[in-house]
Structure 1
Amino acid sequence: MPQQYERDEFDEIAAEGGPVGVHRAPRPWWTRVLPPLLAFIIAGAVAFGIATLLWNRDIVGGADPSPTPTVTVAPTDEPSGTPSPTATAQPPVESEAPEPSPTPSETEEPEPAILFDAQVHVRNGAGVQGLAGDQQAILVDGGYTNTEANNISSSLIPDDANIVIYSEERLADTAADVAERLGIDRVEMDDTPGGAEIEVLLASEPGA
């Protein structure tokens, strides 16, 4: 005879019907969808909260904005109601007459061009022994380097008077210097009797 047991909770479940043993009743579809959906919503809320916290921290803890410079405008002086006095007109100043420009000085004559290497012949037509040599020595002492002393016929001396003759215009200053050193007054440009550039023709002793 089978043994009788008191009724327990398992007997109550068996009385309700449905699968018995390891078989369970099928779960509703929403029980499978709800957990991942809740996990997605919670994760999104946490991410949003973290992003909001970091955003606020950047704003609060960020660099202070550059202060806007303030420009202080000094108050301008209010115009006085009293008009400024008008400047007194000054009498016209008479302009001074310009000083006359100084009269230009006379143009200085250029220094004489003395050619100490010019060919100078001293020619004795006075018949005085050694007269040409003595005059030649005076010229050599004066710096002339190309001199010669010789004789000449008195008939070749114009007007039978002492004279210095030069053959070219460029020798004018040199002939004048020779005549001054020897004490002769006449100086002329002409063909020289002996063909030298400058010839001193002595009809008498100079200065005698």
Structure 2
Amino acid sequence: MASHKLEALQAAIELALGEKVTQSTLALDELTITCKAENLLEVATLLRDHEAVAFTQCIDLCGVDYSAYREGLWDGQRYAVVYHLLSLEHNWRLRLRVFAPDDDFPLLPSVVDIWNAANWYEREAFDLYGIVFEGHPDLRRLLTDYGFVGHPFRKDFPVSGHVEMRYDPTQQRVIYQPVTIEPREIVPRIIREEKYGG
């Protein structure tokens, strides 16, 4: 039953978007489509407004760093944004994936004017991955401090970070200083069955 519904959705997507979809994948009872960054706003508008699909809600949006994907064998663009869409009218979901064309400065158009729920999700992807959303009304950090250096969900971000923040009682303010935590390996203690309880 679920596969028949997904095939109907895939056919409706092909009817609504045609060649604007560069890839369409049915896997694990979900449909994922991919489009080019330059077509994102047109594709998003068609997905929302075309009566055959009617994806009126963006229920989630997340950034992805593919640099370590498939153990570093990935041969495509590094950064992508994945939009999770919901059609209440047709009771189906869709995953839309768009790759940022420039790995050094990942830039995509904002979809806030199409789905206003994307506002904070885009801010989160900007904060954690450094993906810039052109046309966003207030693109600034959401989860990290304004003075935070880097983007912590990037695969090349150091595990311990660059700086740490603490309150200095003598200066009576928050200060930043280089990380002072010494990296260490934690080796789990193994309890052998023959010595257990003895």
Q: What is the TM-score normalised by the length of structure 1?
A: 0.24
* Bigger radius of gyration: 1
Indicate the structure with greater helix content.
Answer: 1
**Higher RCO (CA < 8 A, seq sep 6+):** 1
